[in-house]
Amino acid sequence: MATYRYTARDADGNEVASQIEASSLDDARLRLREQGLQVLGVSPTDTERQRRLSSTEAEELTERIAQVSASSLPLAPGLRAAADESANPRVELALRSIADQVEQGRSLEDILAASDQLVPRHIGGLLAAAARTGKLGDAFLELVEHQRSAHALRRSVAGGFAYPLLVVCLATVVLASIIILVGGNFEQMFQEFELNLPLLTLVFFWYRDLGLWLIAGGIAIGLLTAVAIRVRRGRAGWLRLVATVPLVGPLSRWSGFAEWSSLLSVLTRNQIPLPEALRLAGDGVSNDYVGGISRWLADGADKGQTVWQMLSTTRQTPSSLIPLLRWGEEKGMLADAFDTGRELLESRVRVRSLLLQSILPPFLFIAIACCALFVVSALFLPLYSMVQGLCQ
């Protein structure tokens, strides 16, 4: 339940102002009418306004507004209909709040540009620029397409590692269970028979008694170190470090620059000046490390430097972007250059993800098979030697 501030007139004609809890703006009005009050105005409390929408919620809000803008419905009723369809209470509240302000005579672009609580800065800046050129509907559609493309790319990256990680986790649980639970029974049996154990079996029992815990401790230390680095360096510093890790690093870097190129293509195509577009893209991209680079580029662009020359000095920049941006800046077709760069980087990410999905599982299965062979050999070699001795 959200809290709303209202002003109303009671049966005696006196104006009253207070707060009421309700599931939506319409529900708040209905509750007030049921109390016999004539509603003069209802709005979310400051607490509700200060709760910033998450990136996912902001993207849903943008998509809902784009659908309404592209339809033939009047804006305010269309926004209320979209609010009724939304399963997210905060998105519903935002849509109803926008509808109320539209009914009060404010334009949609003014509402979004003036409220960082509803949408991120890059969306508000884009819509304000699109409104000036009369292409608000096209800008919404381009923005929604950018968001869908970014989501699809992130799913592609996650899909490249999901199955291998699942296999590793399941194999680790099974092998650790065998080593801990079954290994003890075999060790007790070998002691009762006073068998001379081969080196492989001795290594297995050492691993069971000490090595397994050393590995677990090493993993715990590694995780704690990663958390400490993440906290100390922040998200941008952490992503910069991740970008240097083999396999994972290139995917993180390429997907970040692909999203950045896609967003800049939308912003520059809607005639936003390059320095401002770079700052808005820095705020809008999900990879904070790439966002920091974008803001640094914006400072250089303010001083008259070209983007491609600045990018050529950074080691983490995908090399394929630089000649494209040089061509775009020289020919005045920067939006097309960014769009082409997005396509190249997205294609590279998908190919690398598919390669990981194809190559990693066979290597993992070989490694798991070797571990299983080690366990079986270590446990059954002494038994084989004992049976062979009894047969002689």
pLDDT band at residue 128 under the 50/70/90 scheme: low
**Cβ partners under 8 Å of residue 307, min gap 6:** 274, 278, 297, 300, 301, 325, 329, 334
pLDDT at 337 over 90: yes
**DSSP 3-state of 196:** coil
2-50 and 249-354 have identical folds: no
Strands 2-9 and 15-22: antiparallel
Asked if residues 235 and 243 have their Cβ atoms less than 8 Å apart, the reply is no
Rg (CA), the chain: 30
Cα-Cα end-to-end distance for the chain: 82
The Cα diameter of the chain in Å comes to: 111
- 237-268 in b/e form (b: 16+ CB < 10 A) is bbbbebbeeeeebbbbbbbbbbbbbbbbbbbb
State residue 324's pLDDT score: 92
CA nearest 157: which of 250, 234, 58, 55?
A: 250
What is the edge-to-edge ordering of all strands in the sheet holding 2-9?
15-22, 2-9, 38-44
The per-residue pLDDT for 343 is: 92
CATH 3.40.228.10 assigned to domain 249-354? The reply is no
* 63-102 residue pLDDT tens: 888 778 777 778 888 888 888 888 888 888 888 888 888 8
Q: How would residue 47 be classed by pLDDT, with cut points 50, 70 and 90?
A: very low
φ, ψ for residue 316 (rounded to 5)? -85, -5
61 contact partners, CB below 8 Å, separation of at least 6: 53, 91, 94, 95, 118, 119
What band does 136 get if pLDDT is binned at 50, 70 and 90? Answer: low
- pLDDT greater than 80 at residue 199: yes
Q: Which pLDDT tens digit goes with each residue over 342-387?
A: 999 989 888 888 888 788 888 888 988 898 898 888 888 888 777 7
Q: Kind and range of the H or E element at 391?
A: helix 334-391
Inter-residue contact 90 to 79 (CB < 8 Å): no
Average pLDDT over residues 297-321: 88
In the chain, the amino acid numbered 3 is T
- For residue 4, the cross-strand partners are 20, 44
Mean pLDDT for the stretch of residues 255-271: 89
Higher pLDDT, 128 or 302: 302
Tokens of 352: 């690398």
What's residue 242's pLDDT? 80
pTM of the model: 0.70
Q: Nearest to residue 254, comparing CAs of 319, 175, 163?
A: 319
Closest C-alpha among 240, 248, 256, 243 to residue 160: 248
Residue 48 is predicted with a pLDDT of 47
* Greatest mean pLDDT range, 6-20, 21-35, 131-145, 249-263: 249-263
Q: What percent of the chain has pLDDT over 90?
A: 10
Q: Report d(CA 345, CA 285) in Å as an integer.
A: 15
Q: Which two tokens stand for residue 26?
A: 């319409």
Q: Whole-number mean pLDDT of the chain?
A: 81
Mean pLDDT of 256-261: 91
Q: How far apart are CA 224 and CA 239, in angstroms?
A: 17
Helices (H) and strands (E) in the chain, counts: 17, 3
Domain 2-50 top-level CATH class: alpha beta
pLDDT at 340 over 90: yes
Domain ranges of the chain: 2-50, 55-119, 170-245+359-391, 249-354
